[in-house]
């Protein structure tokens, strides 16, 4: 974003904040509704001359953090978080569900700025303690949030821009806290919010899972052959049945899945162990165990899988090759097998992560539209997307995003794409839960519903039928709906 545009945006924010402070709620047309609501809460709780965030009891915060699932996950991906902070001169914070900071790390400049306002471990960053900020909004609204310059209620952070995303237990859906990325307002970047979302997914993917946790129980899918999820939480299915493997077996199987042409014993050993002093006999024993688990569908000389294979890694890379950046970001569940010691898998993990990040940087128009959508400026998002699609009428990411925007604007999405597929689906609560409202779902046929991204979005298409699976575990799907074919 050009410096002049940022400066103008900052001036607008300062004028709106000044108007609110002097005249109360006469700024409805000048700021987003969630900012105005937060300003109102902040005004009732604090004064504008607050200089720093109050601190919670340090011993209590240390006890909450110690040996918690969040601590385990953050320490697993800490290198990636630190690298992101240093590369972008950001300060990164992870909070608990009450918006109290549990962990922070900052680049050289931002670390000093953060310390002056108690943006540190045990700092309380709910808006009633320190005023409007992205951490509180993301936590309160349970969705990614951005707060720019004077959108913050407290002038002490008017020079900041913050992006935050909620962190949930990947199985139960319980809210654990948020991750926030902050820097100075003049370093605002359109991919800030997307980066916060990716960092949240990265932490969720590294969350420890007990062998007694419901997620460890055998699940069933309908996909044939071998299906592996490697980005984030590793899961393996064979002919629809969940296969429970240890870490090393998963790494061996991943290497074979990603090399369908096969690997010799020597190649597999080098990719898996590198320079470690591990014998060939150890590797042969691992392969033997896998062969038994796969019902003999693992050949030798070279080692090669003898069944259909699908991985989310190939799916994400395929989306990037087709230019579907938004789809690739949505399908990217986190680092490839975080913490792996395999040199080949570590190299591939870096390649995929960099490919997704660089793809976000290559299309400023689509990036700006995504930023407008994420900040709920749906009218501007529609304008940018229609301009973008004027030259690329069949671009999948833009078509899908426009469908989402039109739904948010309460407009019929039938005009999206050449093969509109729109259905209204009603979810029914179990037992005595109240019935949620009808949820409109736009399907443009470009999101592969059998992919992991499609499954996470709740979309399944089978023989022309669309089935939506509720993300909320309290909900059951009540019916299927016919999907018109092109």
pLDDT, tens digit, 9 for 90 and up, residues 181-232: 999 999 888 888 888 988 998 888 887 753 323 333 334 445 678 999 999 8
Among 61-70, 317-326, 441-450, name the one with the lowest average pLDDT.
Answer: 441-450
In a domain, 234, yes or no: yes
Q: 79 and 194 in one domain?
A: yes
In a domain, 82, yes or no: yes
Higher pLDDT, 346 or 425: 346
Higher pLDDT, 477 or 174: 174
Instruction: List, as one string, the DSSP characters of 314-374.
Output: HHHHHHHHTT-HHHHHHH--SSBSTT---HHHHHHHHHHHHHHHHHHHH-HHHHHHHHHHH
In a domain, 118, yes or no: yes
* pLDDT tens sequence across 145-181: 999 999 999 999 999 999 999 998 876 677 899 999 9
Q: 443 and 340 in one domain?
A: no
Quick one: average pLDDT of 86-102? 93
Q: Count helices and strands (H / E) in the chain.
A: 19, 18
Say whether pLDDT at 462 is over 80: no
From the number of C-beta atoms within 10 Å of its C-beta (0-12, 13-18, 19+), residue 322 rates as: middle
Measured distance CA(106)–CA(66) in Å, rounded: 21
In a domain, 137, yes or no: yes
Higher pLDDT, 323 or 71: 71
Q: 247 and 183 in one domain?
A: no
Quick one: average pLDDT of 325-337? 80
In a domain, 213, yes or no: no
* pLDDT tens sequence across 367-418: 788 778 878 888 888 888 888 887 766 555 567 678 778 877 876 444 333 3
pLDDT of residue 192: 87
Where a domain ends, among 378, 393, 417? 417
* pLDDT tens sequence across 432-455: 333 333 333 333 333 333 333 333
Q: 392 and 264 in one domain?
A: no
Higher pLDDT, 182 or 30: 182
Q: Which two tokens stand for residue 93?
A: 């914070």
Where a domain ends, among 183, 205, 227? 205
Q: 144 and 80 in one domain?
A: yes
pLDDT of residue 112: 92
Collapsed DSSP state (helix, strand, coil) of residue 427: strand
User: Sorting pLDDT into bands at 50, 70 and 90, what band is 67?
Assistant: confident
pLDDT of residue 269: 94
Q: 184 and 39 in one domain?
A: yes
Q: Measure Cα distances from 317 to 191, 216, 313, 323, 438 in Å.
A: 19, 28, 6, 10, 34
Say how many domains are in the chain. 4
Q: 38 and 123 in one domain?
A: yes
Q: 426 and 399 in one domain?
A: no
Measured distance CA(315)–CA(230) in Å, rounded: 11
In a domain, 211, yes or no: no
CATH code, 116: 3.30.450.40
pLDDT of residue 94: 97
Higher pLDDT, 293 or 475: 293
Say whether pLDDT at 309 is over 80: yes
In a domain, 212, yes or no: no
Where a domain ends, among 184, 205, 226? 205
Q: 395 and 427 in one domain?
A: no
pLDDT of residue 232: 80
pLDDT of residue 113: 94
Say whether pLDDT at 108 is over 90: no
User: Sorting pLDDT into bands at 50, 70 and 90, what band is 366?
Assistant: confident
Measured distance CA(400)–CA(431) in Å, rounded: 34
Quick one: average pLDDT of 27-55? 93
Q: 428 and 412 in one domain?
A: no
Quick one: average pLDDT of 121-134? 96
CB 253 within 8 A of CB 213: no
Q: Measure Cα distances from 260 to 9, 163, 184, 337 in Å.
A: 51, 40, 47, 19
Higher pLDDT, 290 or 440: 290
Domain that holds residue 463: 419-486
Quick one: average pLDDT of 117-140? 96
Say whether pLDDT at 463 is over 50: no
* pLDDT tens sequence across 264-285: 999 999 999 998 888 998 899 8
Q: 308 and 227 in one domain?
A: yes
Collapsed DSSP state (helix, strand, coil) of residue 442: strand
């Amino acid at each position: 974003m050009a410096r002049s545009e940022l400066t103008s945006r900052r001036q607008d924010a300062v004028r709106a904040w000044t108007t609110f402070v002097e005249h109360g709620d006469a700024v409805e047309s000048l700021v987003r509704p969630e900012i105005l609501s937060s300003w109102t809460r902040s005004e009732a709780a604090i004064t504008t001359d607050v200089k720093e965030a109050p601190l919670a009891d340090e011993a209590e915060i240390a006890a909450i953090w110690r040996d918690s699932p969040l601590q385990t996950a953050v320490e697993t991906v800490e290198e990636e978080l630190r690298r992101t902070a240093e590369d972008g001169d950001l300060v990164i914070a992870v909070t608990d569900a009450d918006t109290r900071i549990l962990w922070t790390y900052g680049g050289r400049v931002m670390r000093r700025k953060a310390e002056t306002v108690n943006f540190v471990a045990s700092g309380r960053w709910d808006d009633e303690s320190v005023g409007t900020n992205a951490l509180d909004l993301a936590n309160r609204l349970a969705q990614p949030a951005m707060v720019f310059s004077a959108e913050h209620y407290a002038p002490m952070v008017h020079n900041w821009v913050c992006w935050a995303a909620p962190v949930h237990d990947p199985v139960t859906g319980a809210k654990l806290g948020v991750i926030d990325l902050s820097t100075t307002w003049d370093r605002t970047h359109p991919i800030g919010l997307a980066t916060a979302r990716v960092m949240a997914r990265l932490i969720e993917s590294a969350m420890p899972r007990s062998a007694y946790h419901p997620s460890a129980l055998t699940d069933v899918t309908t996909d044939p052959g071998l299906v592996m999820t490697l980005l984030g939480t590793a899961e393996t299915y064979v002919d629809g049945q969940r296969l429970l493997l240890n870490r090393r077996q998963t790494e061996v199987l991943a290497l074979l899945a990603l090399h369908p042409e096969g690997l010799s014993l020597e190649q597999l050993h080098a990719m898996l162990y590198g320079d470690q002093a591990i014998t060939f006999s150890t590797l042969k024993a691992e392969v033997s165990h896998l062969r038994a688990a796969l019902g003999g569908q693992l050949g030798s000389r070279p080692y090669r899988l003898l069944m259909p294979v699908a991985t989310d890694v190939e799916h994400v890379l395929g989306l990037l090759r087709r230019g579907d950046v938004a789809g690739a970001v949505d399908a990217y569940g986190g680092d490839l097998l975080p913490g792996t010691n395999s040199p080949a898998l570590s190299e591939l993990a870096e390649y995929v992560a960099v490919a997704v990040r660089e793809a976000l940087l290559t299309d400023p128009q689509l990036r700006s539209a995504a930023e407008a959508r994420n900040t709920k400026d749906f009218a501007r998002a529609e304008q940018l997307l229609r301009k973008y699609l004027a030259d690329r009428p069949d671009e999948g990411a833009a078509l899908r995003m426009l469908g989402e925007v039109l739904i948010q604007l309460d407009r019929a999405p039938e005009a999206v794409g050449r093969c509109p597929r729109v259905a209204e689906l009603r979810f029914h609560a179990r037992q005595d839960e109240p019935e949620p409202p009808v949820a409109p779902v736009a399907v443009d046929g470009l999101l592969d519903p059998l992919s992991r991204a499609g499954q996470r979005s709740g979309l399944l298409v089978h023989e022309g039928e669309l089935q939506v699976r509720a993300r909320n575990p309290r909900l059951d799907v009540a019916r299927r709906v016919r999907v018109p074919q092109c």
